[in-house]
Structure 1
Amino acid sequence: MTSPIRIETGSDPELAVVTINHPPLNLYDREMHAALAETVTALERDRPRGALFRAEGKVVSGGVDVRDSFLPIAQNGDVDAGTAYFAELVELGERVHRLPFPTVFAAHGLTLTWAFELALACDLIVAGESASFGLIEATVGLTPAMGGTQRLAQRCGQGRAKYFVMTAGRFGAAEMERWGAVDRMVPDDELDGTARELARSLAAGPTVAHAATKEILATLAADGLDTANARTGEIAGKLFGTEDLRGAMDSFVERGHGKATFRGA
């Protein structure tokens, strides 16, 4: 059986391209759940220097296959099973969020529920101009459970996160870019190329420094400004022991700004 998620490197082994392909609507079901867990494990193990998440088809995802994922738990009123399943979802989102390299998500068409939560767990979101987003779990009496509510609030404030989640609406790329939930909006026909080029450029850059940036921001989110400030010296100071920094400094002195080559070491 073909997995609903595949990882490819192609001609650029530094960049992992993660493609969701589970037609017709890339719905989240038990098969997708297992595939996402396997994908995250592979990324943690193989440590590419960057990853691009994208999807095949007319939409990134139409949401969750309720019959497969939630209905049996709901019919049985099984609180323990629901709690355990949501704990797995939260862990998956957190593992993506903490990958020690840059991650980019390319959004087109509909990007609903789990897919938007996965996007929010990535570092940067690029959207086609006709893309739309929704966390519509409230329509079946649920709330998002992969960390999307929290991460949306971090990006654009609690008020907008509440409005987005509680109304279960669908919001276009332009509005999401204004909110700060989407980092860049591009014409639909430029989405794939733009997202790939952004991911490639980040993967070819100072990825150890990028990982330090992510760690500082994660500390800010978890423990506040004072703790992030207190830990910045320790986190950033380690970069002076990297080959990338030494090589970039030598390159700057010898050839000027912007000509360094980075190895991620």
Structure 2
Amino acid sequence: MGSTPAQTPSIEKAMDGAVAVLTLTHRPYNLIDKALVHAMIDALQWALDQQARAVVLRSGLRHFSAGADLDAMLADTRNSDVLDWDLVDLLNAFDEHPAPIVAAVHGTCVGGGFELALACDLIVAAASTKFGSVEVTVGLQPLMGGVQRVAHRAGAARAKEIALLGRRYDAATLERWNIINRVVADEDLDTAVMVLAQELAHGPSVANTATKRLASLAVSHGIAATDAAMSELQRAIFRSEDFVTGVNSYRENGIGQAAFEGR
């Protein structure tokens, strides 16, 4: 967490086949402020407009993100006890995006940067990455859903430990605690993430969207409510071309050979 002179936030947007690649280049450390929150929401909308079937969130700088812009936060809360940065809107944009979102993390990923990664569906990290909820060191607590998302992934005890102590953790530890999905050698990060993203993008997109919805429902409302919602969420799957394609491919070629079109 730190501060930097105000500048227009930058997120580079590109399509790699059906994968939308969103690259944070908000120098020097991808510090989060209200403008970057809105830029991130706009970037996710851009990916939706491109009909991306998977999304990668990465950094083009030395670090993934060093957290929030503290100077901007102080200024924006000087006359208010509410931080009006539309953080919940950003979390909703991640959660409601139909395509799976993969965070490719390297360098430092702390504070709001850690929470940005946690908002993604999957996290792949370079082995040398350092993670942490360090807000307590400046008299704060995680402001963008970090406590609850770590609690869901690793339990309340780990969430309290990480937020209350404000320490930094290596990627292997967080993988062991089930907070991140995969750790790879630093030099393999980009390749590993794109292989995973392309696999997701070539999957049955309608079914993948339903999977995201079910997982979110289970976290928010529990198993019984999610079970009750399954039939409605599955209607679109049974109407999809990919379901027909998958069944026909299974009959003709065996499992795992279907060429899905995302429809």
Query: Same-fold call, TM > 0.5?
Result: yes
Task: Give unmatched runs, 5+ long, in structure 1.
Answer: none
Question: Contact 1:51/1:199 (CA < 8 Å) preserved in 2?
Answer: yes
> How many residues matched?
257
Question: Counterpart of 1:185?
Answer: 183
Question: Is 1:211 the equivalent of 2:209?
Answer: yes
Q: How does 1:82-97 map to 2 (within 5 A)?
A: 82-85=82-85, 88-97=86-95
Question: Counterpart of 1:48?
Answer: 52
The DSSP-based 3-state class of the residue aligned with 2:84 is: helix
The DSSP-based 3-state class of the residue aligned with 1:75 is: coil
Question: Contact 1:107/1:131 (CA < 8 Å) preserved in 2?
Answer: yes
Letter in 1 for 2:99: F
Give, in angstroms, the shift of residue 30 of structure 1.
4.2
Measure, in 1, the Cα distance between the counterparts of 2:69 and 2:24: 15
The DSSP-based 3-state class of the residue aligned with 2:76 is: helix
Measure, in 2, the Cα distance between the counterparts of 1:97 and 1:168: 26
Question: Counterpart of 1:122?
Answer: 120
Q: How does 1:1-265 map to 2 (within 5 A)?
A: 3-10=9-16, 12=17, 14-68=18-72, 70-76=73-79, 78-79=80-81, 82-85=82-85, 88-265=86-263
Measure, in 2, the Cα distance between the counterparts of 1:204 and 1:250: 17
Letter in 2 for 1:113: G
Normalised to the residue count of structure 2, the TM-score between the two structures is 0.92
Question: Contact 2:37/2:90 (CA < 8 Å) preserved in 1?
Answer: no
Is the deviation greater in 169-178 or in 53-62?
53-62
Among the aligned pairs, what percent are the same residue? Answer: 37
Q: Structure 1 residues 3, 143: CA separation in 2 closer, same or farther (over 3 Å shift)?
A: closer
CA offset digits 1:118-138 (Å, max 9, x no partner): 111111100111111111112
Decide which structure has greater helix share. 1
The DSSP-based 3-state class of the residue aligned with 2:244 is: helix
Question: Contact 2:147/2:163 (CA < 8 Å) preserved in 1?
Answer: yes
Give, in angstroms, the shift of residue 2 of structure 1.
6.9
Task: Give unmatched runs, 5+ long, in structure 2.
Answer: 1-6
Question: Contact 2:68/2:113 (CA < 8 Å) preserved in 1?
Answer: no
Question: Contact 1:40/1:92 (CA < 8 Å) preserved in 2?
Answer: no
Question: Contact 1:26/1:62 (CA < 8 Å) preserved in 2?
Answer: yes
